[in-house]
Amino acid sequence: MERRDLLRALGAATALTFLPHQTLEAWTRVAPGLRPPNGLSDAQLALVRAIADAIIPRTDTPSATDVGVHSFVDVIVAEYASDTDRTAFLAGLDAIDARARSTNGSAFAGLADDVRGTMIASLETGDRDAEPAKTYWRLKGLVVHGYFTSEPVMKDVLKHTVMPMRFEGAAPVVIKKREAGGGDGSNRSQQGQVQHG
């Protein structure tokens, strides 16, 4: 299976099973390009960008940051997470960066691609309920969901059409009329065409 086909299949499943109304609102907030207050710090945003592109890199389809997933995550964390969840998430992001610094001597965003891959593999194979893996899995869910609900991916990769049929506002409609009279079945219906529009 090619990557594009896999993306289509995963995207369709994601779009159909998990479309909270906040998703559209969040993408609408991303559009102007303004960063929300109480959102990610510059270092946290750089970390989210690096992880997002490690999860969904650019190939023949756009990367996660090409479609603005990092900004989507920023808006979700700033405007839709509870204070408790936001605090825990931001602390988890800081813990991921702290692990990168302690094991590799650099923030995650400054690591080479292969080192990022090794670190992500260690987060994915570790205990999902322990930090920083817990935050990583939450972030990964937001990245994948944000990617497949972004307008560029919905239109250009998944080829999702909001109205799957052609709209014809002036299509002729056939109306069948019954003649007034008895119910002996001898009356035939008359057909006429009505033009709408």
Assess whether pLDDT exceeds 50 at residue 19: no
* The pTM of the whole model exceeds 0.85: no
44-64 pLDDT, tens per residue? Answer: 999 999 999 999 999 888 889
Identify the CA nearest to 50 among candidates 104, 5, 10: 104
CA distance 174 to 177: 10
For the chain, the structural domain boundaries read 3-157
CA distance 32 to 149: 17
Identify the CA nearest to 140 among candidates 10, 6, 5: 10
Q: Match 């510059």 to its residue by tokens.
A: 42
150-192 pLDDT, tens per residue? Answer: 877 777 666 666 545 554 555 566 777 777 765 555 544 444 4
Write down the pLDDT at residue 183: 54
